[in-house]
Amino acid sequence: MTLRQHFNRLSRFCYSRLLVAVALTIMLGAQTPAAMSETKEEVRVLAFGDSLTAGYGLPKTDSFPAKLEQSLRAKGINAIVTNAGVSGDTTAGGRARLDWALSSKPHLTIVELGANDAMRGVPPGATWNNLDNILTRLKEQNIAVLLTGMVAPPNYGDKFAQVFDGIYPRLADRHGVLLYPFFLEGVAADPKLNQADGIHPTAQGVDLIVERILPYVLKLIDTPDA
Protein backbone atom coordinates (compact mmCIF):
# COMPACT_ATOMS: atom_id res chain seq x y z
CA MET A 1 0.00 0.00 0.00
CA THR A 2 1.39 3.36 -1.00
CA LEU A 3 1.59 6.27 1.37
CA ARG A 4 -1.20 8.07 -0.56
CA GLN A 5 -3.49 5.00 -0.34
CA HIS A 6 -2.83 4.73 3.38
CA PHE A 7 -3.61 8.41 3.83
CA ASN A 8 -6.86 8.15 1.83
CA ARG A 9 -7.95 5.13 3.84
CA LEU A 10 -7.16 6.87 7.11
CA SER A 11 -9.07 9.97 5.98
CA ARG A 12 -12.17 7.93 5.11
CA PHE A 13 -12.00 6.17 8.49
CA CYS A 14 -11.71 9.43 10.40
CA TYR A 15 -14.49 10.99 8.37
CA SER A 16 -16.84 8.09 9.12
CA ARG A 17 -16.02 8.32 12.84
CA LEU A 18 -16.74 12.04 12.71
CA LEU A 19 -20.16 11.43 11.12
CA VAL A 20 -21.03 8.89 13.83
CA ALA A 21 -19.95 11.31 16.55
CA VAL A 22 -22.06 14.11 15.06
CA ALA A 23 -25.09 11.83 14.78
CA LEU A 24 -24.73 10.69 18.38
CA THR A 25 -24.39 14.28 19.57
CA ILE A 26 -27.60 15.25 17.79
CA MET A 27 -29.52 12.27 19.16
CA LEU A 28 -28.23 12.51 22.71
CA GLY A 29 -28.35 16.28 22.87
CA ALA A 30 -32.13 16.17 23.18
CA GLN A 31 -31.74 14.01 26.27
CA THR A 32 -29.44 16.30 28.24
CA PRO A 33 -30.90 17.71 31.49
CA ALA A 34 -30.93 21.24 30.08
CA ALA A 35 -32.87 20.20 27.01
CA MET A 36 -35.28 18.12 29.07
CA SER A 37 -36.00 21.02 31.40
CA GLU A 38 -36.75 23.26 28.45
CA THR A 39 -39.34 20.86 27.05
CA LYS A 40 -40.85 19.81 30.37
CA GLU A 41 -44.42 21.02 30.78
CA GLU A 42 -44.89 23.89 33.21
CA VAL A 43 -47.00 23.21 36.30
CA ARG A 44 -48.72 26.30 37.72
CA VAL A 45 -49.66 26.05 41.39
CA LEU A 46 -51.73 28.64 43.24
CA ALA A 47 -51.10 28.87 46.98
CA PHE A 48 -54.34 30.50 48.10
CA GLY A 49 -54.55 31.38 51.77
CA ASP A 50 -53.91 33.75 54.65
CA SER A 51 -50.76 34.85 56.51
CA LEU A 52 -49.59 31.25 56.86
CA THR A 53 -49.35 31.14 53.08
CA ALA A 54 -48.23 34.74 52.61
CA GLY A 55 -45.19 34.23 54.83
CA TYR A 56 -45.94 36.73 57.58
CA GLY A 57 -42.76 37.92 59.31
CA LEU A 58 -40.47 36.14 56.84
CA PRO A 59 -38.46 37.10 53.76
CA LYS A 60 -40.28 36.20 50.54
CA THR A 61 -37.74 33.48 49.86
CA ASP A 62 -38.72 31.74 53.12
CA SER A 63 -42.48 31.80 52.50
CA PHE A 64 -44.42 28.58 51.99
CA PRO A 65 -45.00 29.15 48.23
CA ALA A 66 -41.33 29.96 47.58
CA LYS A 67 -40.05 26.92 49.45
CA LEU A 68 -42.66 24.65 47.89
CA GLU A 69 -41.55 25.79 44.44
CA GLN A 70 -37.92 25.07 45.35
CA SER A 71 -38.83 21.58 46.55
CA LEU A 72 -40.85 20.79 43.43
CA ARG A 73 -38.05 21.97 41.17
CA ALA A 74 -35.59 19.85 43.15
CA LYS A 75 -37.82 16.90 42.18
CA GLY A 76 -37.42 17.84 38.51
CA ILE A 77 -40.85 19.47 38.19
CA ASN A 78 -41.00 22.72 36.24
CA ALA A 79 -43.28 24.37 38.80
CA ILE A 80 -44.32 27.97 39.31
CA VAL A 81 -46.01 28.50 42.69
CA THR A 82 -47.90 31.79 42.95
CA ASN A 83 -48.18 33.34 46.40
CA ALA A 84 -51.84 34.33 46.77
CA GLY A 85 -51.73 34.58 50.54
CA VAL A 86 -53.18 37.65 52.27
CA SER A 87 -52.42 38.22 55.95
CA GLY A 88 -55.55 38.42 58.07
CA ASP A 89 -57.74 36.96 55.35
CA THR A 90 -60.85 34.98 56.27
CA THR A 91 -62.74 32.48 54.16
CA ALA A 92 -65.11 35.34 53.24
CA GLY A 93 -62.15 37.41 52.03
CA GLY A 94 -60.83 34.48 50.02
CA ARG A 95 -64.22 33.93 48.45
CA ALA A 96 -64.37 37.58 47.40
CA ARG A 97 -60.94 37.63 45.76
CA LEU A 98 -60.87 34.20 44.16
CA ASP A 99 -61.46 35.41 40.60
CA TRP A 100 -58.55 37.83 40.89
CA ALA A 101 -56.29 35.10 42.29
CA LEU A 102 -57.16 32.79 39.39
CA SER A 103 -55.70 35.26 36.87
CA SER A 104 -52.49 33.21 37.08
CA LYS A 105 -54.45 30.36 35.42
CA PRO A 106 -53.28 27.61 37.80
CA HIS A 107 -53.39 23.91 37.07
CA LEU A 108 -53.89 23.21 40.76
CA THR A 109 -54.71 25.24 43.86
CA ILE A 110 -53.77 24.72 47.49
CA VAL A 111 -56.59 26.19 49.60
CA GLU A 112 -55.35 27.23 53.06
CA LEU A 113 -58.06 29.31 54.74
CA GLY A 114 -60.01 29.26 57.98
CA ALA A 115 -57.49 30.02 60.73
CA ASN A 116 -58.71 33.60 61.08
CA ASP A 117 -62.33 32.45 61.06
CA ALA A 118 -61.58 30.19 64.01
CA MET A 119 -59.65 32.82 65.96
CA ARG A 120 -62.45 35.37 65.46
CA GLY A 121 -65.20 32.94 66.37
CA VAL A 122 -66.89 33.13 62.94
CA PRO A 123 -69.86 30.73 62.96
CA PRO A 124 -68.71 27.44 61.42
CA GLY A 125 -71.70 27.51 59.08
CA ALA A 126 -70.36 30.67 57.45
CA THR A 127 -66.90 29.14 57.11
CA TRP A 128 -68.45 26.07 55.51
CA ASN A 129 -70.44 28.13 53.01
CA ASN A 130 -67.43 30.20 51.96
CA LEU A 131 -65.13 27.23 51.48
CA ASP A 132 -67.88 25.29 49.73
CA ASN A 133 -68.29 28.19 47.29
CA ILE A 134 -64.53 28.38 46.67
CA LEU A 135 -64.24 24.65 45.99
CA THR A 136 -67.30 24.69 43.73
CA ARG A 137 -65.86 27.48 41.60
CA LEU A 138 -62.47 25.77 41.33
CA LYS A 139 -64.18 22.56 40.26
CA GLU A 140 -66.19 24.42 37.63
CA GLN A 141 -62.92 25.61 36.10
CA ASN A 142 -61.41 22.11 36.19
CA ILE A 143 -58.67 23.15 38.63
CA ALA A 144 -57.30 20.39 40.83
CA VAL A 145 -57.46 21.18 44.56
CA LEU A 146 -55.53 20.32 47.68
CA LEU A 147 -57.59 21.42 50.68
CA THR A 148 -55.60 21.98 53.87
CA GLY A 149 -57.37 21.60 57.18
CA MET A 150 -57.22 23.84 60.22
CA VAL A 151 -57.86 23.24 63.92
CA ALA A 152 -59.91 25.59 66.10
CA PRO A 153 -58.32 27.11 69.21
CA PRO A 154 -59.72 25.84 72.54
CA ASN A 155 -61.11 29.18 73.78
CA TYR A 156 -64.49 28.77 72.04
CA GLY A 157 -65.23 25.41 73.63
CA ASP A 158 -65.34 21.80 72.55
CA LYS A 159 -68.57 22.06 70.57
CA PHE A 160 -67.27 24.88 68.40
CA ALA A 161 -63.99 23.03 67.85
CA GLN A 162 -65.74 19.80 66.94
CA VAL A 163 -67.95 21.46 64.34
CA PHE A 164 -65.17 23.65 62.94
CA ASP A 165 -62.58 20.87 62.70
CA GLY A 166 -65.09 18.67 60.89
CA ILE A 167 -65.61 21.21 58.10
CA TYR A 168 -62.52 20.17 56.14
CA PRO A 169 -62.95 16.38 55.88
CA ARG A 170 -66.63 16.84 55.10
CA LEU A 171 -65.91 19.33 52.33
CA ALA A 172 -63.16 17.10 50.92
CA ASP A 173 -65.65 14.24 50.72
CA ARG A 174 -68.36 16.44 49.25
CA HIS A 175 -66.16 17.78 46.46
CA GLY A 176 -63.92 14.77 45.98
CA VAL A 177 -60.72 16.75 46.59
CA LEU A 178 -57.49 15.74 48.25
CA LEU A 179 -57.21 16.73 51.93
CA TYR A 180 -54.10 17.54 53.95
CA PRO A 181 -55.64 17.27 57.44
CA PHE A 182 -53.81 20.08 59.26
CA PHE A 183 -51.63 22.70 57.59
CA LEU A 184 -49.55 23.28 60.76
CA GLU A 185 -49.07 19.59 61.55
CA GLY A 186 -45.83 19.13 63.51
CA VAL A 187 -45.33 22.91 63.79
CA ALA A 188 -48.21 24.25 65.88
CA ALA A 189 -47.36 24.95 69.53
CA ASP A 190 -43.66 24.21 69.06
CA PRO A 191 -41.73 27.31 70.22
CA LYS A 192 -38.67 26.31 68.18
CA LEU A 193 -40.67 26.36 64.96
CA ASN A 194 -42.80 29.45 65.55
CA GLN A 195 -42.15 33.15 65.69
CA ALA A 196 -42.55 35.15 68.90
CA ASP A 197 -46.34 35.43 68.39
CA GLY A 198 -46.63 31.66 68.73
CA ILE A 199 -48.85 31.53 65.63
CA HIS A 200 -46.73 32.02 62.52
CA PRO A 201 -43.99 29.53 61.63
CA THR A 202 -40.33 30.40 61.34
CA ALA A 203 -38.34 29.52 58.24
CA GLN A 204 -37.57 26.16 59.88
CA GLY A 205 -41.27 25.68 60.55
CA VAL A 206 -42.06 26.36 56.89
CA ASP A 207 -39.44 23.79 55.90
CA LEU A 208 -41.27 21.16 57.93
CA ILE A 209 -44.66 22.15 56.50
CA VAL A 210 -43.31 21.85 52.95
CA GLU A 211 -41.64 18.53 53.72
CA ARG A 212 -44.88 17.05 55.05
CA ILE A 213 -47.24 18.47 52.44
CA LEU A 214 -45.00 17.75 49.45
CA PRO A 215 -46.18 14.13 48.95
CA TYR A 216 -49.76 15.39 48.70
CA VAL A 217 -48.82 18.01 46.11
CA LEU A 218 -46.87 15.43 44.11
CA LYS A 219 -49.83 13.06 44.23
CA LEU A 220 -52.07 15.81 42.88
CA ILE A 221 -49.62 16.64 40.08
CA ASP A 222 -49.49 12.95 39.11
CA THR A 223 -53.29 12.70 38.96
CA PRO A 224 -54.36 12.46 35.29
CA ASP A 225 -57.16 15.00 35.73
CA ALA A 226 -54.68 17.50 37.17
In terms of Cα–Cα distance, which of 126, 120, 121, 100 is closest to 48?
Answer: 100
- Give the active site residue among 51, 63, 107, 117: 51
> How many Å apart are CA 33 and CA 37, to the nearest integer?
6
Secondary structure (DSSP) of 9-72: HHHHHHHHHHHHHHHHHHHHHTTSHHHHHHHSPPEEEEEEESHHHHTTTS-GGGSHHHHHHHHH
d(CA 160, CA 170): 16
Tell me if residue 200 is catalytic: yes
Which residue of the set 50, 165, 200, 207 is catalytic?
A: 200
16 is catalytic: no
Taking a C-beta distance cutoff of 8 angstroms, is the pair 150, 131 a contact? no
User: For residues 41 and 79, is the Cβ–Cβ distance under 8 A?
Assistant: no
Active-site pick, 158, 197, 222, 225: 197
Catalytic (active site) residue 62: no
Specify whether the CB–CB gap between 210 and 64 falls below 8 A. yes
**DSSP notation for 172-191:** HHHHT-EEES-TTTTTTT-G
Burial class of 100 by CB neighbour count within 10 A (0 to 12, 13 to 18, 19+): exposed
- Give the H/E segment covering residue 148: strand 144-148
Active site members? 51, 197, 200
